[in-house]
Chain A
Amino acid sequence: MANRTDPAAKSIRGTNPQNLVEKILRSKIYQNTYWKEQCFGLTAETLVDKAMELDHLGGTHGGNRKPTPFMCLVMKMLQIQPEKEIVIEFIKNDDYKYVRILGAFYLRLTGTDVDVYRYLEPLYNDYRKLRQKLPEGKFSLTHVDEVIDELLTKDYSCDIALPRIKKRWTLETLGSLEPRRSVLEDDFEEEEEKEENDQLDGLEEEAHEKDYYRGRSPARERDRDRRRDRDRYRERDYDRDYDRDYDRERGRGRDRDRDRERDRDRDRDRDRDRDRDRYRLRDEKDYGRDRERDREWEGRERERRDRDRGRRRSHSRSRSRSKDRKDREGGEHRKRHARSSTSPRRRDGAEENGTREEPKKKKERKEKKEDGTDHPDPEIAEANRLRASLGLKPLK
């Protein structure tokens, strides 16, 4: 009897509101002592008192998946179904951040798409810290705006599958919402103008790295910000330049000079070591970087070749060109695999040291080892591909 939904409650998304939480988790909550003791006979008012006592959020934790009090209160709200005004009050209140998050979570589960965006987006400006309980049982630090971002972008949070809502741009095109204005927009515009000026002075590299660091320094590293910064910056200027140069690169006209300059100063050490390791996994647009690196290597190889003045000059050039092509094609595919971006690099290193036959053999052998996805047995190759996508090493 205590677990029945309020008979006056409306059905949410076509079902009993409590069914938004799936069966196993629901049973776990009903068996929980917090639910049985504290959540019995709660009304909207007394619920607020309980919510004010919250001190962490989270889903289930531990070996037997014990739900947190936060989960129990969400369940209680689904059961009694408070009115929209009450939920909005929860969200608007400034004093108790956990009450805010509770209201936001409930609205995300039960509200309409427009409501969700309208009431949750202002919470992006709330930077307060929150304590989150991880599934292992430990606590971790998170922030209000991070949680809101998770609610708005991901479809799973706190062990509950969040109902699907329309994407923001769909609602914008429908006219139900206005385009998003971020509070930080003015700051961004200033920074962009400053960097445009820097770029015109020919300090492309530095500006690009500054862009990257800027994305990391304010408050905390957020993939969202970094990606947005980089995309915005890149799309405007960077890609355009690269595309233009890339096409011309076949003739190797003016790039050689630019390569040499860049090679000598910073990129050899900085880019290669730091960038490769750090940005390898996170870069979505690795393409630009791979190409840049390849061109660096070609520049260096060219230098060495010229120095040696061997008869192999023409051969190596054709070799590097074909290899470059393979890298370019493979690069697109390989950029999705965690470890693969090291293989073109190592292949280059091996080749430059040995004779022509040895590097060929080493290259083939290394290809087999690195990826694991070119295993002769197709089943194993597929298994390795899956493992690579999950971030695991290939099968032995």
Chain B
Amino acid sequence: MIEVVLNDRLGKKVRVKCNEDDTIGDLKKLVAAQTGTRSDKIRIQKWYNVYKDHITLKDYEIHDGMGLELYYN
């Protein structure tokens, strides 16, 4: 179980607990549940790499405590 921090630099900073084998799509659902936006409106990036929905966190090498950028579609 890892904890990921998502920040949208506009005041929304969210800590989400998830498994390493969850996909980005699952992570978006969890974030949507916490922030209140819809999960398909959320975009998770790291610098200019937009993370795709079907790939797991483990494959993206996202570790515990790592920060990701939260953007909106």
Contact = CB atoms under 8 A, between A and B. Distances in A.
Given A24-B72, A380-B17, A396-B1, A390 B40 contact: no
Contacts of B41: 24
B1 A387 contact: no
Contacts of A396: 1, 19
Contacts of A60: 73
B17 A383 contact: yes
8 contacts: A65-B73, A135-B40, A379-B17, A380-B1, A386-B33, A392-B26, A395-B17, A396-B19
Interface size class of B (residues with CB under 8 A): 10 to 19
Interface residues of A, number: 20
Contacts of A379: 17
A390 B30 contact: yes
B22 interface: yes
A256 B73 CA distance: 59
Interface of A: 24-25, 60, 63-65, 135-136, 156, 159, 379-380, 383, 386-387, 390, 392-393, 395-396
A24 B1 CA distance: 34
A63 B53 CA distance: 10
A390 B26 contact: yes
B30 A395 contact: no
Interface string B49-65: 01011000000000000
A387 B34 CA distance: 12
B18 interface: yes
A383 B34 CA distance: 11
